[in-house]
């Protein structure tokens, strides 16, 4: 029988979802997830207790509609947004939030990295039923108003604490890039070095100060903060490959080994875990990487960016990522971070967010069908039935992006009612429907 965590024993009142699950309690959040997934609540509780499922649900996030991330559940999709120093337009970020919620993103990561970000973050938590994630490292310089090299370990912990108190449901912490990981990176070399923004900042701090990664050195303190507010730790992959050339190299795998150890420590402290993964990766390496993560990280939920399966498609990287994401999720990944057409080029606008989100939702849904997730085919079957009946409203209702589908159809009205301009009077559905109704058809003409 799984033991209740030390953190939970120290506090008679269980705080986190994993505390409750290990104590045998099915929480309201677990019941909500079970209903959404078509699973028995006990299935969810057992998964949370074992760490196979995470339900990121900060105790301060009152507007949250809980989602489960992990084995046997629908693949979830995250949207990145946030205020940038070069494009510091909060109104544009709210447009992106609206698109994300309209199209059903299960998570939104606020990656704001310019100025004081707390007001936007708090408003996002207040508004959003989707789970909210952040990377506290991005916020450190603006929050603390100090040069990077003068920030102390305690300062970094203060930023994590502020995000937890503001109600974010999961935080990315790059704790696996310790001295051992960096040694592997330096010995073997890379084509694109460190491409993680948070990872590069920690690497710069470590090099300037000569200290160990503060999130690794003071990991227990980080976990204590997260446990207090039930914040899920998303163990960031600072050494993710930024090119297909660097995929599955010594730096990536060395960090993954460290993350596996940190996963167990988090669970022991009563903190839920998600593990982040690559990155850029050739198509034939993806499935093996998913299995490797599950083995080294003890079946913890896996959250991947893409992976992007080629490096030469700027402007179309939402497609390269969707290809990799579909393979990754079908092979065991549980959570996909969207990529937009603007990746590697500029901050995405609201239109880019729509393109990237829909592409990633297609990948996630295709993987769910392949994995046999309960109910995954239901919408497809309803769509096919509506197509057979040439029921346009029924088709729009089942579309991942009903607005786009309707715009395309209405942009070119057909001359023959009940068809579209692709086939017109030669519409196969219309022709066969009429024959099945006992009518004589002559090229679709009465």
How confident is the model over 241-259, as pLDDT tens digits? Answer: 999 999 999 999 999 999 9
Q: Is 238 annotated as a binding residue?
A: yes
Euclidean distance between CA atoms 232 and 255, whole angstroms = 19
What is the structure's pLDDT at 441?
A: 82
State the DSSP string of 104-171: T-SEEEE---SS--HHHHHHHHHH-SSEEEE-HHHHHHHHHTS-GGG--HHHHHHHHHHHHHHT-SEE
Euclidean distance between CA atoms 403 and 357, whole angstroms = 14
H helix runs in 195-249, sequence order: 197-209, 214-217, 219-229
Euclidean distance between CA atoms 344 and 104, whole angstroms = 25
As a 3-state breakdown, the chain gives helix, strand, coil percent values, each rounded to 5, of 50, 10, 40
What is the structure's pLDDT at 443?
A: 67
11 pLDDT above the threshold of 50: no
Left (φ > 0), alpha (ψ -120 to 50) or beta: where does 80 sit? beta
Burial of 372-399, coded b for 16+ CB within 10 Å and e otherwise, reads ebeebeeeeeebeebeeebebeebbebb
What is the structure's pLDDT at 116?
A: 85
Q: Is 71 annotated as a binding residue?
A: no
Q: Is 198 annotated as a binding residue?
A: yes
Q: What is the CA radius of gyration of the chain?
A: 23
Contact 33, 55 (CB under 8 A): yes
Q: Is 297 annotated as a binding residue?
A: no
Q: Is 143 annotated as a binding residue?
A: no
Q: Is 177 annotated as a binding residue?
A: no
Q: Is 344 annotated as a binding residue?
A: yes
Q: Is 423 annotated as a binding residue?
A: yes
Between 29-43, 79-93, 99-113, the lowest mean confidence (pLDDT) is in 79-93
Contact 101, 117 (CB under 8 A): no
- Listed in sequence order, the residues at least 6 apart from 234 whose beta carbon sits closer than 8 Å to its beta carbon are 133, 170, 171, 172, 173, 273, 274, 275, 276, 303
What is the structure's pLDDT at 209?
A: 96
**Tokens 């393979």 sit on residue:** 327
State the DSSP string of 307-334: -BS-SS-TT-HHHHHHHHHHHHHHTT--
Q: Is 193 annotated as a binding residue?
A: no
Q: In 3-state terms, what secondary structure has residue 26?
A: coil
How confident is the model over 345-389, as pLDDT tens digits? Answer: 999 999 999 999 999 999 999 999 999 999 999 999 999 999 999
420 pLDDT above the threshold of 80: yes
Cβ burial, residue 435 (10 Å; 0-12/13-18/19+): exposed
2 pLDDT above the threshold of 60: no
Between 36-45, 85-94, 217-226, the lowest mean confidence (pLDDT) is in 85-94
What is the structure's pLDDT at 360?
A: 98
Please state, in angstroms and as integers, the Cα–Cα distance from residue 377 to each residue in 42, 322, 370, following that order.
Answer: 24, 19, 10
What is the structure's pLDDT at 113?
A: 87
How confident is the model over 24-52, as pLDDT tens digits? Answer: 999 999 999 999 999 999 999 999 999 99
Left (φ > 0), alpha (ψ -120 to 50) or beta: where does 228 sit? alpha
Please state, in angstroms and as integers, the Cα–Cα distance from residue 69 to each residue in 37, 52, 227, 328, following that order.
Answer: 11, 8, 18, 15
Q: Is 394 annotated as a binding residue?
A: no
Q: Is 276 annotated as a binding residue?
A: yes
203 pLDDT above the threshold of 50: yes
What is the structure's pLDDT at 13?
A: 63
Q: Is 174 annotated as a binding residue?
A: yes
End-to-end CA distance of the chain: 72
Q: Is 216 annotated as a binding residue?
A: no
State the DSSP string of 94-119: HHHHHHHHHTT-SEEEE---SS--HH
Six-digit token string for 88: 């510091």
Euclidean distance between CA atoms 319 and 362, whole angstroms = 10
What is the structure's pLDDT at 10?
A: 40
Six-digit token string for 56: 């990121």
Please state, in angstroms and as integers, the Cα–Cα distance from residue 321 to each residue in 2, 112, 115, 243, 361, following that order.
Answer: 37, 23, 30, 13, 11
Sketch out the chain's domains with CATH numbers.
Answer: 56-371 (3.20.20.540), 377-411 (no CATH), 415-446 (no CATH)
Q: Is the dihedral of CA 298, 129, 141, 356 positive or negative?
A: positive
What is the structure's pLDDT at 132?
A: 98
What is the structure's pLDDT at 440?
A: 87
Contact 119, 156 (CB under 8 A): no
12 pLDDT above the threshold of 50: no
274 pLDDT above the threshold of 60: yes
Average pLDDT of 295-313? Answer: 98
229 pLDDT above the threshold of 60: yes
How confident is the model over 318-349, as pLDDT tens digits? Answer: 999 999 999 999 999 999 999 999 999 999 99
Q: Is 46 annotated as a binding residue?
A: no
Average pLDDT of 143-172? Answer: 96
5 pLDDT above the threshold of 80: no
Euclidean distance between CA atoms 101 and 384, whole angstroms = 26
Mean predicted lDDT score pLDDT of the chain: 94
């Amino acid at each position: 029988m799984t033991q209740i965590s030390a953190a939970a024993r120290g506090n008679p009142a269980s705080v986190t979802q994993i505390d409750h699950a290990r104590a045998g309690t099915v929480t309201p959040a677990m019941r909500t997830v079970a209903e959404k997934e078509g699973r028995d609540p006990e299935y969810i509780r057992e998964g949370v207790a074992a760490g196979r499922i995470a339900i990121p649900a900060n105790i301060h996030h009152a507007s949250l509609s809980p989602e489960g991330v992990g084995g046997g559940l629908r693949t979830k999709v995250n949207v990145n947004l946030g205020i940038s120093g070069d494009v510091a337009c909060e109104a544009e970020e709210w447009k992106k939030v609206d698109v994300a919620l309209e199209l059903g993103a299960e998570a939104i990561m606020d990656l704001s990295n310019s100025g004081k970000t707390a007001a936007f973050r708090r408003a996002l938590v207040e508004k959003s039923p989707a789970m909210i994630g952040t990377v506290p490292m991005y916020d450190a310089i603006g929050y603390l108003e100090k040069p990077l090299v003068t920030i102390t370990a305690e300062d970094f912990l203060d930023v994590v604490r502020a995000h937890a108190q503001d109600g974010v449901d999961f935080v990315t912490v790059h704790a696996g890039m310790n001295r051992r990981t960096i040694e592997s990176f330096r010995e073997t070399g890379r084509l694109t070095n460190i491409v993680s923004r948070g990872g590069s900042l920690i690497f710069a701090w470590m090099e300037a100060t000569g200290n160990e990664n503060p999130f690794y050195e003071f990991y227990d303190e980080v976990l204590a903060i997260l446990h207090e507010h039930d914040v899920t730790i998303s163990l960031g992959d600072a050494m993710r490959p930024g090119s297909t050339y660097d995929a599955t190299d010594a730096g990536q795998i060395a960090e993954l080994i460290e993350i596996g150890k940190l996963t167990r420590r988090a669970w022991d402290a009563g903190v839920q875990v998600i593990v982040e993964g690559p990155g850029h990766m050739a198509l034939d390496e993806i499935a093996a990487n998913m299995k490797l993560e599950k083995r080294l990280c003890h079946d913890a939920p896996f959250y991947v960016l893409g992976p992007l399966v080629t490096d030469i498609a700027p402007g179309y990287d939402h497609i390269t990522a969707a290809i990799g994401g579909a393979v990754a999720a079908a092979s065991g990944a549980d959570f996909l971070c969207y990529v937009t057409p603007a990746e590697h080029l500029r901050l995405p606008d609201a239109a880019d967010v729509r393109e990237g989100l829909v592409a990633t939702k297609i990948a996630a849904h295709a993987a769910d069908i392949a994995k046999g997730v309960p109910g995954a085919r239901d919408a497809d079957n309803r769509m096919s039935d509506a197509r057979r009946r040439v029921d346009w409203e029924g088709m729009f209702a089942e579309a991942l992006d009903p607005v786009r589908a309707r715009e395309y159809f209405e942009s070119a009205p057909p001359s023959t009612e009940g068809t579209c301009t692709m086939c017109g009077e030669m519409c196969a559905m219309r022709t066969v429907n009429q024959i099945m109704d006992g009518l004589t058809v002559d090229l679709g003409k009465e």
